[in-house]
A and B are shown apart, each in its own frame.
Chain A
Amino acid sequence: MTDPVISIEGIAKRYGAKGHPASGGASTTIFENLWLKVNRGEFVCVIGHSGCGKTTILNILAGLDRPSEGVVLVEGRELAGPGLDRAVIFQGHALLPWRTVLGNVAYAVSSRWRRAPKAEVEERARRAIAAVGLAGAEHKRPAELSGGMKQRVGIARALAIEPKMLLMDEPFSALDALTRGTLQEEARRICRDTGQTVYMITHDVDEAIYLADRIVLMTNGPGARIAEIVINPLAADRSRSGLHHDPAYYSLRNHLMDFLVARSSAFREAPPDGYDPRHPPIVTLHHSQSGALRAMT
């Protein structure tokens, strides 16, 4: 039934004692013993306080960083480095400023299909640019674009290579509320239409509620863990503007806020009874009830 694209198996990241875990107590553990599977076509959002290691995990998934312990499997094979099967949407858009919009996207396309003729590369790039609503801006340079447009180019560049998985690091956090809302809607539409698997970091609880199928909650660092995984109970055809009419929205939002405010820091001193890092609790909220019902699996 489950078909994991990515399987995180017991990874940890430590800084300080380089390669010599035995050399002394100088090393800090950012996070340890993390286990998580991301299934095909699934949209996973990760929420946690600043510094708990979210970006580090994303970089490990991207192959840009290595875990100090543990492995990551991509479709059952151990991850060896960066690859075209995983596209990254960077927090700071990371467009090449000396290239045009078309040039940036085409750069990714021609890296993905090295032998493709120029016309095909351009055709694919134009299609990806049109998909994020930027048709007509192909020949602009990043400096001439607004923040929202730059982030769209980043999304187009990522989607253009048809990755198995999309890794997004707070892609919308630098945008104003209006632009953020529009882009969230477009991202959700595109990802649902194409059955894209997504792993996304966010600080925004509402963003996670709107976009995610599952929400991964991380405890505060150092020594961060996955505290629990919340299943999003909202209807799959939810609309962003109608979210707050859904009774399930409030219980989910309260649950997430409670976690961020209180439980994320209390977790380290007092992990819940029977906590198994390998199988963090899966939480399903039933909005028919006033409180949260915790279903352990």
Chain B
Amino acid sequence: MPEALRRNDKSTEEVALGIRRRVFEHAMRNNGGYLSQACSAAEQLAWLYNEELTLGAPTLPMIPKPFGGVPSADNPDYHTGAGYNGPAAPEFDRLFIAPAHYALVAYATLIEVGRMAPEGLEMFNKDGSSVEMIGAEHSPGMEVHNGTLGIGFSTAAGLAWGRKRRGEPGRTWVYMSDGEVQEGQTWEAIAAAAHHRIDNLYAIMDVNRQQCDGAMGSVMEVGDIGAKIEQFGGVAVWVDGHNLDQMREAVKTPHRGKPLIILANSSPFRGMPTLQLRFPRLHYVRFKSEHERAQMNRDIAKSLGVPQVDYGQTEGK
């Protein structure tokens, strides 16, 4: 058996707070970032990485290597960023981050659970870096490209079917966003997974009811996602996306012959209530003025219970 997995010393609550703190610090220094995704997703990703997933030790350096080129016959050393989740051994789980713009939050998670060095986040969106803004398959923790939303669950279904056929005990997990249910492919994937009885396939979907343009109900209503998943042949379980015990219970739901999709009702302001001032435009929060930036710095630091960020504020401000 490959090197046994190293559990984190931190509690899952601490990991979740750490995710929010790192994304907050990053957004302050860079005058914006994917803050609302950290708010809604922190407990879900913390729970996956700190408790639920069975992963081996990372196989790639703690400080990410620079961009090493794209797949091509002339690039024999090409590899994905999946090594941050450990080796692709039969007994281990695999995870795809389907909404690739959650990358910042996913990288923060890798750091919190000791799979990437904090320096990794400083490389975020820097020219020549592999730590890309929209997680690429060569980015830490990523194994496939998902920047085009709605393709993650299909790929995972195929991988899960293949692993089942080969008798691998490891599960295949997908982290999904609710925006993805507007894409028809998501429904084709669920139907295919049900038809082929792919039950080693698991997803947790961040149902924060937000998308780029604002609240999903104002952009294109998707109705009862849980009922629809069941109709398409999956098993859906609703949980409070910030309640770890509910996630721990939900994953035990029997789903023989069907994929299990945990629907995590979440708040895009959780831990940073001041973000409500930005509703309905939460997708990417860029501070509109130095005043707003300073105010967010004070308010978010206070609500998270962490120090304010020194982002090189001008004297006296």
Same complex for A and B? Answer no
Residues in A lying within 8 Å of B, measured CB to CB: none
